[in-house]
Amino acid sequence: MEKIVQPLMQWFETHQRELPWRKDKEPYHVWVSEIMLQQTRIEAVKKYYTRFIQEIPDIESLSLISEDKLLKLWEGLGYYSRAKNLQKAARTIMQKYHGEFPRSYEEIMKLSGIGEYTAGAVASICFREKVTAVDGNVLRVMARVLGSRENVLLPQTKKEFTKQLAKILPQQAGIFNEAIMELGETVCLPNRSPLCGECPIAKYCVSCRDGLTSEIPVRIKSLKRKKEEKTVLILYCDGKIAIEKRLSEGLLSGMYQFPNRDGFDTPEQLKEKLHPLSISFLGKAKHTFTHIDWYMQGYLVTVREQCGDFLWVSPQELTEQYALPTAFQPFWKMCHSLPDSFIK
């Protein structure tokens, strides 16, 4: 394994992509980018990251920004608890560390929303601490290089690979960590498409030698997914649309949503309940969360008065001020594409 270190680091020197958060080793920048990248692809993160840093340039401003504004900036990235944890951690840094990002792996680990991977990435890249940072890309590269058929989704596999990596970690651990992640992102690609011909460590790779790259890594999910059906209502009245704030705990907490109910209501049931002026079926959408799949059907319902405990906002206000989770965005787009859309 130690033979992969030098070629990997040399390759990284010349092949690393230019990414906005690589311009400096500022911990705030590395931290925000790593959190964004946890569940989102690099290409999508770039534009969010740049806008986020422009609007919230430092830890102090992150600690002070309103939750609504923060979630609006995060809109579209999903997994909103990441944004809330960022702010919680920023407040801790302001209170406990006088605004200075903590410098050791152990201290970084204590911050909200930071796990072993992110703590390892920030500590090694920004503070040159000799620690590993093992994400999905690293697990894939490791499994293939070692020719390991262990299930990479199991914690014990991650633990074992982390142990092996710790043994070969060079002094410049940050560069090595970035290099192996970059290899996973750009060369040792998932599924059946690693670019072994371009790989700097191909001659040390068991999977490449033995033709196992389509079988490794082994990923066996044990998670039972839950399925939920929902009827989503775009309630419209006098140029305004009804939205409501979700509860402050749980899935998509604190975000705004279109009113919705569990199960699929028929138009007849909706007419009976809402006595609308008109009702039209918008379409279907599915959204996948970590453990749950939402199957949704949406209706545009024009009502007589701005009823209920909803917040009634104009289309412009909704777009500019309120964070609408990705799960509900398809219905908003469907409203835009109606032939006589009320959205100007």
CA distances from 225 to 62, 106, 262, 291, 294 (A): 34, 34, 17, 5, 11
Instruction: Please pick, among 26, 34, 60, 185, the residue that the annotation labels catalytic.
Output: 34
Number of residues that bind ligand SF4 (CB under 6 A): 15
- The residue within the footprint of ligand SF4, chosen from 118, 213, 231, 297 (CB under 6 A), is 213
195 versus 338: smaller Cβ distance to ligand SF4: 195
* Nearest residue to 168 via CA among 210, 216, 204, 116: 204
Cβ–Cβ < 8 Å for 93, 105: no
- The residue within the footprint of ligand SF4, chosen from 134, 202, 234, 270 (CB under 6 A), is 202
* Residues numbered 129-168 forming contacts with ligand SF4, rule: CB under 6 A: 141, 144-145
CB of 8 to ligand SF4, least distance (A): 9
- The residue within the footprint of ligand SF4, chosen from 162, 207, 231, 260 (CB under 6 A), is 207
Which element (helix H / strand E) includes 228? strand 226-237
Task: Report the C-alpha gap between 31 and 25 in whole angstroms.
Answer: 10
**What is the 3-state composition of the chain as percent helix, strand, coil, each rounded to the nearest 5?**
50, 15, 40
CB of 105 to ligand SF4, least distance (A): 26
Strand, helix or coil for residue 57: coil
- Backbone dihedral angles phi then psi of residue 268, each to the nearest 5 degrees: -65, -45
Binding of residue 233 to ligand SF4 (CB under 6 A):
no
CB of 10 to ligand SF4, least distance (A): 15
CB of 130 to ligand SF4, least distance (A): 23
* Residue with tokens 């579209």, as numbered in its chain: 76
CB of 137 to ligand SF4, least distance (A): 10
Q: Which residues pair with 286 in a beta bridge?
A: 295
Binding of residue 37 to ligand SF4 (CB under 6 A):
no
108 versus 145: smaller Cβ distance to ligand SF4: 145
- Backbone dihedral angles phi then psi of residue 227, each to the nearest 5 degrees: -115, 125
CB of 272 to ligand SF4, least distance (A): 59
55 is catalytic: no
Binding of residue 201 to ligand SF4 (CB under 6 A):
yes
* Residue with tokens 């290089």, as numbered in its chain: 145
* Residues numbered 180-199 forming contacts with ligand SF4, rule: CB under 6 A: 187-188, 194-196, 199
In this structure, which amino acid lies at residue 242? A
CA distances from 307 to 202, 300, 303, 313 (A): 65, 15, 8, 13
205 versus 270: smaller Cβ distance to ligand SF4: 205
By DSSP bridging, strand 260-262 and strand 256-257 are unpaired
Question: Active-site residue numbers?
Answer: 34
Can you give the binding site for ligand SF4, defined by CB under 6 A?
A: 141, 144-145, 187-188, 194-196, 199, 201-202, 205, 207-208, 213
